[in-house]
Amino acid sequence: MLLLEHDAKEILTQAGILVPTGVLISNADRSSELPVKFPNFVKAQIPTGGRKKIGGVIRTKNRFELNSALRALLDMELKGHLVRECRVEEIISGKEAYISLSINPILNAVNVLVSDAGGIDIESSKHKNNVGSGYCERSEQFIFETIDKLTVDFPPRMRSAINDVGLIIAKLFCEIEATLIEINPLMVLDSGEGIACDAKIILDENAFVRQPGIVELIQKRSAAYSESVIKIESQFDYIEINPKGDVGLITTGAGLSMQIVDELLHLGVKPLNFCDIRTGTFRGNPDRLIWVMRKMSQATCLKSVLVNIFAGVTNLGELAELLLQARRVVPELAAPFVVRLVGSGEEQARRTLSPLGHEFELVTDLEEAICSVISRSQNSK
């Protein structure tokens, strides 16, 4: 999962890396209360890069401009993400540098990338003489040794700043089991200090069982990371792909769910989400279904919901009852359901849902189910 910039900087600060002074705000009306200096940057907090290029970063030089920037950005949609928070932070001047550590899953190694010429379009040819790249084992010592080797020809002050920060993030990268830590730009001051003016951290959700500090941060910021909180607390996966998606998915099996997403996209239909709801651990409780349906009810363009459950341990008769219970709890989800249930208790499930044909269209074949939701999507346009 990708942390928002504000939270990434909180982690860097705790590790000992300097960042620009900044505050997080979710209400433009409170801008007059912010103890900020001018000029500053107002930065939309969304889980994606390239925000400046799409208008997600605005420079302001007085209180009026700050308020206008917040009103413009908050509740704006950028790259498919709704902006719910902005970070307002001081502007730092200096010479830009770049440093990143990332996991290469093919080589099972850490890719170390550094530059003494700024991080914008770091891969482009104009930077090729100022970029150092190398691979090493995932070890604090090996990572720092690689950084030290890659910066040997950098100007002394630049090398010192990158290495000082590199020593800290080498340790942090291993401690929190990150798959990416990127500082872009690392602003190097005349004093030789390095300040992380932008930061990106990607975490491995499978490592959360060993990361209580990270889990605490995510739960504290549950509104920003609701999908990750659900995985931590309820042990299933729900990822919103497109907030303006046509088809919501309540499905099991990560591989099959991804296949359904790919097929819908290939056929020109926008899936709202990816879902692996893991029915084997429902234990007679509809809470997961209720949470997913409430999440779907917030989608403005939803035309239908596709339920595809291939059950082994799960009894589909029981699941059908839970589906009905959840549907009654979330009447605001008005989209019709196309339901394919295959496995133990299938006939019992059909007897439960068949009388409600106006709400639940029962099908036996997955292709038939996909054709049905596509038809509903196209006919409602």
* HEC-encoded secondary structure of the chain: CECCHHHHHHHHHHHCCECCCEEEECCHHHHHHCCCCCCEEEEECCCCCCCHHHCCEEEECCHHHHHHHHHHHCCCEECCEECCCEEEEECCCCEEEEEEEEEECCCCEEEEEEECCCCCCCCCHHHHHHEEEEEECCCHHHHHHHHHHHCCCCCHHHHHHHHHHHHHHHHHHHHCCEEEEEEEEEEECCCCCEEECCEEEEECHHHHHHCHHHHHHHHHCCCCCHHHHHHHHHCCEEEECCCCCCEEEEECCHHHHHHHHHHHHHCCCCECEEEECCHHHCCCCCHHHHHHHHHHHCCCCCCEEEEEEEECCCCHHHHHHHHHHHHHHCCCCCCCEEEEEEECCHHHHHHHHHHHCCCEEEECCHHHHHHHHHHHHHHCC
pLDDT at 282: 85
Q: What's the mean pLDDT in 226-231? A: 91
Peptide bond into 355 cis (omega under 30): no
What residue ranges of the chain are covered by domains with CATH 3.40.50.261?
235-379
Query: Is the pLDDT reported for residue 381 higher than 70?
Result: no
Q: φ, ψ for residue 103 (rounded to 5)?
A: -90, 130
- Pick the more confident residue, 4 or 314: 4
d(CA 260, CA 244): 17
Query: Is the pLDDT reported for residue 380 higher than 70?
Result: no
Q: How confident is the model at residue 128 (pLDDT cuts 50, 70, 90)?
A: low
**Torsion sign across C-alpha atoms 202, 208, 210, 213:** positive
Give the long-range contacts of residues 373-376, CB within 8 A, separation 24 or more. 373/246, 373/247, 373/264, 373/269, 373/303, 373/304, 373/306, 373/338, 374/264, 374/267, 374/269, 376/303, 376/304, 376/336, 376/338
Query: Is the pLDDT reported for residue 133 higher than 50?
Result: yes
Query: Is the pLDDT reported for residue 318 higher than 70?
Result: yes
What residue ranges of the chain are covered by domains with CATH 3.30.470.20?
95-203
Q: What's the mean pLDDT in 167-191? A: 97
Percent of the chain with pLDDT over 70: 97
What residue ranges of the chain are covered by domains with CATH 3.30.1490.20?
21-90
Query: Is the pLDDT reported for residue 147 higher than 90?
Result: yes
pLDDT at 376: 86
CATH topology of domain 235-379: Rossmann fold (3.40.50)
Q: Give the range among 30-34, 112-116, 343-347 with minimum mean pLDDT.
A: 30-34
Alpha-carbon Rg for the chain, nearest whole angstrom, is 24
Mean pLDDT (the chain) is 92
Query: Is the pLDDT reported for residue 18 higher than 90?
Result: yes
* CATH homologous superfamily of 95-203: ATP-grasp fold, B domain (3.30.470.20)
pLDDT at 27: 83
Note the CATH number of domain 21-90: 3.30.1490.20
Question: Please, are residues 186 and 197 in contact by the beta-carbon 8 Å criterion?
Answer: yes
d(CA 265, CA 242): 11
pLDDT at 96: 94
